Structure 1
Amino acid sequence: MLGVKDVAETATDESNQADEAFAGNRLLATFSREARALIEPQGVLEQTQVGDIVLTRGEQVESSVFPIGSTMVSMTVELNGGRSVEVASIGREGAVGGIISCGQAPAYSRAIVLVGGPVFRVSMGALEDAKKRSGFISNIFCRFSDYLLAQVMQSVACNAFHSIPERAARWLLHAQDRAGDRIELTQEAFAGLLGVQRTTVNAVIRSLQSEGLVSTGRGVVRVTDRAGLKRRACECYQRLEDHFGAVIGTSGTGGPR
């Protein structure tokens, strides 16, 4: 049986975990006290590892996952012959699962943890109930859906018209925003995300390293010159950052660029 002290310590731990979740995710950080109260009791803070599957194509989406801190999830579309390509990546600026659809629906893409860490998981039932009870929650998820769609559309344009070095630099900038300067990523995984051969990625990384923009280690890429990397990247990175600020920003309702 738990004593009074044990109950108090448990309540404090749960409160600290909730504070970590709502401070470590840019969507949740916009919630008012009233909006937070609608989903906080229904959510749970979990730890993820690299390679954990968040969504599987064709399976029902039963919960939404909000990456916290440096956690990053990659959404990929799989093709015949074992090929796949990343169509979007989501970190602390958003959520994965059931955001665009209303209620339970089958997942279209595969979502896999790329950088492990904490996530805040909320069941679809609890999230849909909160959206019905709060205009703010309903609106912010509509706005994030707009941002996510913009990311997918920008990726299509980027993959079609921009060079692999430009795409690689853009991806590393997004990853740095979410995970910090030290990005745990093998070159094999990076090649899969970009949809190119590993030898191509090796050449790109060597080029960026020779310019002093990144350094590499075993399974790690470290950004050493962010300004230089931005100059190397295509315009897609800044366009998405501008759009996030316009539709969501720090208030959840966006604002002028």
Structure 2
Amino acid sequence: MKNRLLSALPSEDKALIAPYLSTVDLEKGRLLYDPGDRIDQVYFPNDCVISLMTLMESGAAIESATIGREGALGLMAAVAPRQSLSRAIIQAPGSALRIAAGPLHDIWSRSAALRDLVDRHNEALFGHAIQSVACNALHAVEARFCRWLLSCHDRIDTNTVNLTQEFLADMLGVQRTTVTAVAGSLQNKGLIRYRRGVVDILDRPGIEAMTCECYGAVRRGYERLLPASFEQT
């Protein structure tokens, strides 16, 4: 089981959930939820990456958090019926385990381990989101671009990230020309190779040296609350 959150459950609790899980393949750009949508399905990523986007009335958007195999999308619906607060869209394609919110709530009511895991995950995700608010307001685009690359890299099994300029611009809340300039600068430093729609990570330590403090702060938050979040398989 690639999803770290489900893997952290005791075997007896995994056995309660397993009959209700199905594997789904999620293509890049697929919309899972928009703000106000009822959360009727909860997704546990295996190797896909989900972006939570905050939308403005003007149509502008910016990423507020990233969810990969360390977590789940819509997990608060295990506690009670919920509506989505963000747009949830597939950033990097892959598979996820999916469960209907109703059965998950029933299991949550019977499983102390699941209740504890839901609480810790939601605290970690909240910390991620509020750190992103500060980062987007205070840090340079180049540092935020590096933070975003590292966050994505933590959640996939390859050094290649397939992204369009438009998608990157939405993630960072900038113009596409800014994305081109920043990616070109990192490529000139030998940290990445950037071609249309594809970013190859060549020098992760170099990218870590250029990112802002927010990458480490978010990662430490997950590792404190969910210690197996970024263990290598």
Tell me, yes or no, whether TM beats 0.5.
yes
Normalising by structure 2, report the TM-score. Answer: 0.94
Which residue is 2:128 aligned to? 151
* 1:55/1:97 contact within 8 Å kept: no
Divergent runs of 4+, >6 A? none
Match of 1:138 among 105, 112, 115: 115
1:62 lines up with 2:40 in the alignment: yes
* Alignment of structure 1 residues 42-191 onto 2, 5 Å: 42-69=20-47, 71-99=48-76, 102-179=79-156, 180-191=158-169
Task: Select the residue among 215, 219, 223 that pairs with 1:245.
Answer: 223
Give me the identity figure in percent.
Answer: 37
Deviation sequence 1:25-83 (CA, Å, 0-9, x none): 111111221010111101111111112111121111101101112x0111111112221
Task: Name which structure has the greater RCO, CA cutoff 8 Å, separation 6+.
Answer: 2
Can you give the 5+ residue segments of structure 2 that lack an aligned partner in the other structure? none
Query: Conserved in 2, the CA contact under 8 Å of 1:98 and 1:105?
Result: no
How far apart, CA to CA, are the structure 1 residues paired with 2:11 and 2:19? 13
**CA shift digits 1:188-229 (9 cap, x unpaired):** 210111000111111100000000110022311011000000
Paired residues of 1:188 and 1:198 also in contact (CA < 8 A):
yes
- Asked if the contact 1:65–1:119 (Cα under 8 Å) also holds between the matched residues in 2, the reply is yes
Contact 1:213 1:229 in 2 (8 A): yes
Partner of residue 205 from structure 2, selected from 212, 220, 227:
227
Query: 2: distance between equivalents of 1:52 and 1:202?
Result: 24
The aligned residue for residue 19 of structure 2 is 41
TM-score by length of 1: 0.86
Q: Distance in 2 between matches of 1:235 and 1:150?
A: 14
How many equivalent pairs are there? 228
Please, which runs of 5 or more residues in structure 1 have no aligned partner?
1-22, 252-257
Structure 2 residue aligned with 1:13: none
What secondary structure does 1:121 align onto? strand
Match of 2:188 among 210, 217, 235: 210
CA distance, structure 1, for counterparts of residue 5 and residue 46 of structure 2: 10
CA contact (8 A) 1:64 1:97 kept: yes
Q: Is the 8 A contact 2:34 2:87 kept in 1?
A: yes
Please tell me whether the aligned partners of residues 169 and 230 of structure 1 are also in contact (alpha carbons under 8 angstroms): yes
Amino acid at match of 1:135: A
**What is the distance in 1 between the residues matched to 2:31 and 2:138?**
31
Tell which structure's C-alpha radius of gyration is larger: 1
